Amino acid sequence: MQGIAFLSTVAGTARAPGRLRRRLLSSSLRTTTRSYTPAAGVMTKRMNLFTAINDALRTAMDTDQSAIIFGEDVAFGGVFRCTVGLREDFGDGRVFNTPLCEQGIAGFGIGYASLGKTAIAEIQFADYIFPAFDQLVNEAAKFRYRSGNQFNCGGLTVRAPCGAVGHGGHYHSQSPEAYFTHTPGLKVVMPRSPAEAKGLLLSSIRAPDPVIFLEPKALYRAAVEEVPEGDYTIPLGRADVLREGRDVTVVGWGGQLRVLEKACDLAADEGIACELIDLRTLLPWDADTVMASVHKTGRLVVSHEAPKTGGFAAEVVAEMQERCFLFLEAPVQRVCGYDTPFPLVFEKVGREGGWEGGREGGREGGGGGGEGRGGGVG
């Protein structure tokens, strides 16, 4: 449904009248979204998302003898197998299970990182990170500030699988990134693919500040690509332009990029060239790259899987309204999830029905128009 809402939104904004209205391309506008291209001489291996995460963790453990991995069930590999084989290779003193207590996991990580060591915590599902909210927001994020930079817990990275998979229901489908982007002192990261996940995770583990690293669990096995072997990083706070276009800027992150790539192809069939941007890092986010794109296209659509109200799209929209007002040719739009808990029985309809049901059927089903109120919950 989000794809149909997106198409309707883009069609409306890209065809809006304006003094800088552009002539549509006469040839096909379908382009291949750019994926990771290794530099010459770089050895790569085909991986899915969870094996890329595992490879990044293994690299971190190899290069930093103080690094430890801990969380619920991580010793046997974790629910999604991201830590499989690590206890056998690095020992149960460095890879170990914790009690089922997210507050304790976060608190232990903060204490260990405050000693100048590297703590890599796993919260089994992002939906259950909220018991640790006080530790992360009131302790981890403020540790450096309240001590006048005498102490810090910058060695803390908290990994958490997030987002919907089609059968997770209320408590295994949430995307809580916006809660943490409101917290100075934290970094918030969400990758879109295996190569991105490895590079961003290694940068997060080595960052001087605590990082919330959210992994779209729908991509653990679905996303596959060539990933650099060995040590490999991607800078935090730098967005990535996946495909260039001149009619409308489209911004997303994480698993939503799969939806947006398809939506941009649908828009191309309607004669609309989209410029697609992956923020990668949400705190701090790369407003300059988005601004440069909006200055070129004059239009902006921001989309995420999380509920619309108070979602991070609102921050992007507000910032671009301030920076790009005189360049905008149409109102900035959001295409986001419904403001409801995730509905188990309708989850697949919300995530997939817009693609399978066809464009007109999606519109009749409430999938289009406005700011994405009918954009589905997935």
Q: Rounding to the nearest 10 degrees, give the CA dihedral for residues 302, 282, 50, 104.
A: -130
Active site (annotated) includes residue 304: no
Catalytic residue among 122, 139, 172, 275: 172
Bridge partners of 301, per DSSP, are: 250, 333
The identity of residue 67, as a single letter, is A
The identity of residue 132, as a single letter, is A
What are the Cα distances from residue 332, in Å, to 2, 105, 167, 205?
17, 40, 32, 35
177: DSSP letter:
H
- How many CB atoms neighbour CB 28 within 10 A? 9
Can you tell me the distance from the alpha carbon of 359 to that of 184, in angstroms, rounded to the nearest whole number? 42
347 close to 173: Cβ distance less than 8 angstroms: yes
Can you tell me the distance from the alpha carbon of 206 to that of 315, in angstroms, rounded to the nearest whole number? 27
Can you tell me the distance from the alpha carbon of 153 to that of 160, in angstroms, rounded to the nearest whole number? 18
Active site (annotated) includes residue 215: no
Residues 216, 210, 289: CA angle, nearest 5 degrees? 65
Residue listed under structure tokens 């790369």: 286
Q: Rounding to the nearest 10 degrees, give the CA dihedral for residues 76, 81, 83, 88.
A: 40
**Distance between first and last Cα of the chain:** 8
HSE, side-chain direction, 13 A CA sphere, residue 157? 24
Catalytic residue among 102, 261, 305, 371: 102
CA nearest neighbour of 217 among 199, 237, 191, 239: 191
Residue 205 has phi, psi (to 5 degrees) of -60, -30
Active site residues: 102, 172
